[in-house]
A = this chain, B = another copy of it.
Amino acid sequence: MQEVAEHAGVSIATVSFVVNGTKRVSPQTQAKVEAAMRELGYARNHAASALARGRTDILALLSPALERNLSGTGMEFITRAAERALQRGYKLVLWPFDNQASSVQSLIASRLVAGAVLMEVELHDARVPALRESGLPFSLIGRTLDPTGMAWVDVDFDASIVGTMKDLLGLGHRRIAYVDFVLGDDPEASVFAGAVRARNAYIDTMRSVGGSPVLLRCPETPWDGRHLVSRLLADHPDVTALVVMNEHAAPGIVLGLAAAGVRVPEDMSIISVGTTSMMAAFTDPVLTHTVSPARELSRLGVDAVIDRINDPELPLPQILLPCMRASGESVAPPRS
């Protein structure tokens, strides 16, 4: 920067002003400085700038289980978040971590990032208390049990599941089963808040129409989807429709049903919820599905943090976005 200043015949303060647009500078000087910068290929030193202003332009994307969600919706979240951050002049660092709370602590204390976006939020999320205490701006993609006083954007699973159930009930289905996912080996292990809310919405809806819920779960793979089918058919032969919140198992379920001679949608209706359309198109018939608003959620989540960095007094966005219904051919009235 010193060099640029000499080259342009001004002081380094002036260079700083034009680099940051912090202060009015006469057009002539501005031009001179810019020319000098171009000539010398100057770009401001990131660390020095961050140190001096006491703030960085880096955001952290905290995603505890980057291993999970090896495709589909998860990828969408990450790429959109990175894109949006860059659009707004921020960088996005990926922070997949093991030891939740303590790792967040040191991330915060190191002042590496100006804010954080949390994905895969749990009902009682260990990262949240640490973040709140620290005062670091953050937003949730998802929400904890009590998200009061935080910025969050989330899928409106309640409405989405209720809507999906209504569709099925409207067609005459009464025995509707629900399939979601387990992570790793321990079925009781960390549970995403969204999954819990969705499941509860299903249970409530079933109860409200006097039906009894049928809950199934399996790991997020097509193989597990296939295997699930025999269990389903054996234990619940009267089920006529499936609501599946398990992007990667859904195609497997269709294959499993076909192998068992169960036709979709004539004998069994299926709706895949919170998926990408691509995943829904891997089967024949194409799955009727609802699309998780991943792109918007990422954008809003990133925006929420950046806005709060710029003005901590801003109201906290708390936004619920519905899944979009997308057509498919896997739903029909039940065989009477």
- Please give the residue numbers on chain A whose beta carbons come within 8 Å of chain B beta carbons, in ascending order: 41-48, 50-51, 56, 58, 66-67, 70-72, 74-76, 78-79, 82-83, 86, 91-97, 105-106, 108-112, 221-223, 248, 251-252, 255, 258-259, 276, 278, 281-284
Give every chain B residue within 8 A of A255 (Cβ-Cβ).
282-284
Q: Distance (Å) between the CB of A277 and the closest chain B CB?
A: 9
Q: Are A281 and B223 in contact (CB under 8 A)?
A: yes
Q: Distance (Å) between the CB of A230 and the closest chain B CB?
A: 15
Given contact pairs A47-B51, A255-B284, A284-B259, A79 touches B66 in the complex (Cβ within 8 A)? yes
In the bound complex, what is the Cα–Cα distance between A308 and B83 (angstroms)? 29
Copies of this protein in the complex: 2
Q: Are B282 and A251 in contact (CB under 8 A)?
A: yes
* Contact among B75, B83, B97, B108 with A74 in the assembled complex (CB-CB below 8 Å): B75
Q: Are A96 and B86 in contact (CB under 8 A)?
A: yes
In the bound complex, what is the Cα–Cα distance between A297 and B283 (angstroms)? 31
* Contact among B93, B94, B278 with A221 in the assembled complex (CB-CB below 8 Å): B278
Q: Distance (Å) between the CB of A68 and the closest chain B CB?
A: 9
Pairs of residues from A and B, 3 with the lowest C-beta to C-beta distance, nearest first: A71-B71, A43-B109, A47-B50
In the complex, the chain B residue whose C-beta lies closest to that of A81 is B94
In the bound complex, what is the Cα–Cα distance between A112 and B90 (angstroms)? 12
Given contact pairs A92-B94, A105-B41, A278 touches B46 in the complex (Cβ within 8 A)? no
Q: Distance (Å) between the CB of A261 and the closest chain B CB?
A: 13
In the bound complex, what is the Cα–Cα distance between A82 and B76 (angstroms)? 16
In the bound complex, what is the Cα–Cα distance between A34 and B259 (angstroms)? 62
In the bound complex, what is the Cα–Cα distance between A41 and B259 (angstroms)? 58
In the bound complex, what is the Cα–Cα distance between A119 and B37 (angstroms)? 30
In the bound complex, what is the Cα–Cα distance between A95 and B70 (angstroms)? 20
Give every chain B residue within 8 A of A108 (Cβ-Cβ).
43
Give every chain B residue within 8 A of A281 (Cβ-Cβ).
221-223, 252
Q: Are B276 and A258 in contact (CB under 8 A)?
A: no
A–B pairs, 12, beta carbons within 8 Å: A44-B110, A46-B111, A47-B48, A67-B79, A70-B71, A74-B75, A75-B78, A91-B95, A93-B93, A93-B94, A252-B281, A255-B283
Given contact pairs A47-B111, A109-B41, A96 touches B79 in the complex (Cβ within 8 A)? yes
Give every chain B residue within 8 A of A76 (Cβ-Cβ).
70
Give every chain B residue within 8 A of A105 (Cβ-Cβ).
41, 43
* Extra 5 A-B pairs, beta carbons < 8 Å, given A66-B79, A70-B276: A41-B105, A70-B71, A79-B94, A82-B94, A222-B281
